[in-house]
Amino acid sequence: MFKKILIANRGEIAVRILRACRELGIRSVAVFSEVDRKSLHVRLADEAYAIGPAPSRESYLRIDKLMGVARRAGCDAVHPGYGFLAENPALPQACREADITFIGPSAGAMEALGSKTAGRQLARRLEVPTVPGTNDPTEEPQARALSQSMGYPVLLKAVAGGGGKGMRLVCSHAEFESAFREAASEAMNAFGDERLYLEKYLERPRHIEIQILADAHGRVVSLGERECSVQRRHQKVIEEAPSPIVTPELRKRMSEAAVRLARAGGYVNAGTVEFLVDQNLNFYFLEVNTRLQVEHPVTEQVTGLDLVKLQIAIAAGHRLPFAWESITPRGHAMEVRLYAEDPENNFFPSPGKILSRHTPGGPGIRMDEGVYEGWTVPNDYDPLLSKLIAWGNSREETIARLRRALDEYTITGIRTNAGLFRRILEEPDFLRGEIHTRWLDEWLRRPRAPSSAPQASAKNSSIEAAAAAIVAAVWQAKQSAAQAPSASSDRESASRWKLEGRREQLDRVP
């Protein structure tokens, strides 16, 4: 087993990885940029090294600096986390040259599966269905001609894409040229690669992905699916496992396709094969993420496995100790991504100092996070603060726990999207599992019921927000008295009063 692992990342995922290291008796080495000197991952790691200024291309994206730290600290392995360099074949390559183990797939497997067009080509060879479109980077005139013959809407996508960058929906021939230009320039800025390809835009698909694990001895297993259809502008915000629509038979077919792809790509370590699923339960390959995913905890909760420890064990050459057939999801898990952003102000990032916070706990609740009271959320990176994960025996129990945990959660000094999740978790479509990848964007455009706005902002309990909540509670109490309230609304207004009281006490703690 390894003795010391360099964690080439920051935030909640760096904390997640160093926790796994500690459980395995491995020393952890953190790296940090100037603005991250006081970050939680730096505080918790066994050692920490500065790697430069705040902009990630001068710190977290500098392979030379990371390898310099790995050598200086005597690390025998590097874990990339997700984002930053996690899918850049140059990092496993540099590790090989330095004789340090990269905890992830080889550079070759990353290239064979990680590039979107290479992944599509492989899927086609293996007869795994793909969304109709091009399997090669395409120039503007050919792409335009093909869009017309396929029929609009189409989606332009960056070959090197990720995080929705360089992606453009095109609904008509007239928009095509400018959309192509914009997508190519966005892709160039984000990835240094302006190449685009084309897919037919599926109207209301669901995003369902298969988690796989592959060891270096030829065993490839599927850990089942996660559904990530609740998205804002094509970015996941809620994930769950199992999917409300996946039957054991569909799970088996999707798993077989994912395992086939991983085998053909010579894949070793943890990876995710993403699919879109249409209303008739046909699935289409989307891409392979050659790394740990943000949403991996929901799979951990329903399988009882620790994916980070398994990643480390696989990289150390261990065999996977179980067969795929032995894995069946137990209960239900759901994750919400808590961001420092303001849903009331067009989801504008809300960096700043965390003045106080209360973290939920209790049965079935897990919080993966990289923040603490008194820490200043920097403006320089993705504003993901915490992932709140609930587990329950059923989807209903999981949602009830998640709601209860969101009610306990308070954070002051910055704004978060917690209120948005409280609203989504009350929404009948969501409760029935009737969601698709455009569902949240459409729902956000719907006019809001008058009572939901003050409730949502109350949770960002700065003094004004707390005052607004009390006004809202009085308003609600009056409303419910006037309208012969149901048992649940009675309970709601009573519990809101109690919560406000408790929050006030929390605020007084010096």
Active site residues: 291
321 sits near ligand ADP (criterion: CB under 6 A)? no
- Of these, 55, 108, 162, 351, which contacts ligand ADP (CB under 6 A)? 162
Per rule CB under 6 A, is residue 234 in the interface with ligand ADP? yes
Signed CA dihedral, 412, 414, 415, 419: sign only: negative
**Shortest spacing between CB 321 and ligand ADP, in angstroms:** 31
The answer to whether 186 contacts ligand ADP (rule: CB under 6 A) is no
Residue length of the chain:
510
**3-class secondary structure per residue, 239-280:** EEECCCCCCHHHHHHHHHHHHHHHHHCCCCEEEEEEEEECCC
Should residue 274 be labelled a site residue for ligand ADP when binding is judged by CB under 6 A? yes
For ligand ADP, give the closer residue by CB, 155 or 499.
155
For residue 109, the one-letter residue type is A
How many residues bind ligand ADP (CB under 6 A)? The answer is 19
Rank residues 205 and 364 by Cβ distance to ligand ADP and give the closer one. 205
243 interacts with ligand ADP by CB under 6 A: no
Report if residue 115 touches ligand ADP, rule: CB under 6 A: no
Please, are residues 212 and 262 in contact by the beta-carbon 8 Å criterion? yes
Which one of the spans 194-202, 323-331, 378-386, 462-470 is the region binding ligand ADP (CB under 6 A)? 194-202
**Is residue 406 a contact point for ligand ADP (CB under 6 A)?**
no
Nearer to ligand ADP, 14 or 167 (CB): 167
The nearest distance, CB 450 to ligand ADP, in angstroms, is 31
Q: Is 501 left (phi over 0), alpha (psi -120 to 50) or beta?
A: alpha
Q: Which is nearer to ligand ADP, 65 or 207 (CB)?
A: 207
Site for ligand ADP (CB under 6 A): which residue of 14, 85, 131, 262?
Answer: 131
Torsion of CA 263, 268, 274, 280, to 10 degrees: 30
Contact range with ligand ADP by CB under 6 A, out of 39-47, 155-163, 368-376, 444-452: 155-163
DSSP state of 448: P
- Spatial CA neighbour of 240 closest among 296, 305, 306, 304: 296
CA distances from 84 to 6, 315, 367, 465 (A): 14, 20, 23, 35
Q: What's the Cα-to-Cα distance from 225 to each of 104, 288, 327, 331, rounded to whole Å?
A: 20, 14, 12, 13
Q: In terms of CB distance, is 49 or 284 closer to ligand ADP?
A: 284
Per CB under 6 A, does 179 bind ligand ADP? Answer: no
Q: Does 84 bind ligand ADP (CB under 6 A)?
A: no
- 101-102 and 77-79 beta bridge pairing: parallel
Write down the least CB distance from residue 355 to ligand ADP, Å.
Answer: 34
Please identify which residue in 201, 285, 381, 409 interacts with ligand ADP, judged by CB under 6 A. 201
Task: For residue 240, state whether it binds ligand ADP (rule: CB under 6 A).
Answer: no
3-class secondary-structure state, position 169: strand
Residue reference for tokens 């996660």? 226
**Under rule CB under 6 A, residue 113 binds ligand ADP:** no
Asked if 150 interacts with ligand ADP (CB under 6 A), we say: no
Give the phi and the psi of residue 261 in degrees, each rounded to 5.
-65, -45
Select from 64-72, 143-151, 158-166, 469-477 the region that touches ligand ADP (CB under 6 A). 158-166
Q: Does 260 bind ligand ADP (CB under 6 A)?
A: no
**Residue 408: closest CA among 477, 472, 362:** 362
DSSP label of 161: -
Angle among Cα 233, 234, 240 to the nearest 5 degrees reads 120
Please list the residues that pair with 327 across neighbouring strands: none
Q: Which of 207, 226, 337, 387 binds ligand ADP (CB under 6 A)?
A: 207
* Contact footprint for ligand ADP (CB under 6 A): 131, 155, 161-164, 167, 199, 201-202, 205, 207, 231, 234, 274, 276, 286-287, 437
